[in-house]
Amino acid sequence: MHILLSGIVGSTAYGLAHAGSDIDRLGLFAAPTEQFHGLHRPTESQVTTAPDRTLHEAAKWCRLALSCNPTAAELAWLPAELYEVRTPLGEELIGIRRSFLSERAVRNSYLGYATQQFRKLSSRDPSDETSRRRAAKHARHLVRLVRQGLALHETGELRIRLTDPERVRELGERCADRPELAAGLLADAESRFDRSGVLPAAPDEGPAESWLRRVRLAHLPSPA
């Protein structure tokens, strides 16, 4: 395995971490090119819990990024200090990150993930404090996803680190008690997504295709 790009993601990257928060890592790797020539394709994802780390093979990461998967896409938009591995090929990928974006995929992915968080916080048990804490966490993620998705739609930039994490925490607490506030946030986001944004209708797959070919060439076995 050759890790091309890896960094710290999740609550630490967003500015929402607290004492005791897990440190989540995300990365992408290149499988040896010769492994694609047999009956079975190489493993496309590796997930560990000690440490908490997810690694995607380069082609899988590109497919996820072209669908604007929020969890995968943030790897190419991290603040510089959060990268732990940043190879030349990883640097190239950061350089083409905007080519993965498209209007429909951003809307579907970010609103879709935010709606999932709304369903989770709406199913809370008000009499159970643990359930309420989980609801507040879901609400914080809902707020983050809405903000990130709208920023992409309106500016073409993915903002990983929240500028006002304390306000997001406070809003999460209020939404845990009053889910209708979160419903209002979603309704407002849908209205803004209905307006014209800056993203193209479809992603430009050309840069990703060229980059993957360079990755495969770089990881061919050396001549005997």
Q: Which CATH architecture has domain 2-100+204-218?
A: 2-Layer Sandwich (3.30)
Task: Tell me what the pLDDT averaged over the chain comes to.
Answer: 94
Mean pLDDT score, 120-131: 83
pLDDT digits (tens, 9 = 90+) for 42-55: 999 999 988 899 99
Answer whether residue 41 shows pLDDT above 90: no
163-206 pLDDT, tens digit per residue, is: 999 999 999 899 988 999 999 999 999 999 999 999 999 999 99
Residue 131 has pLDDT above 90, yes or no: no
Residue 141 CB coordination number (10 Å): 22
Reported confidence tier of residue 224, pLDDT bands at 50, 70, 90 = low
Q: Where are the domains of the chain?
A: 2-100+204-218, 103-193
* pTM of the predicted protein model: 0.92
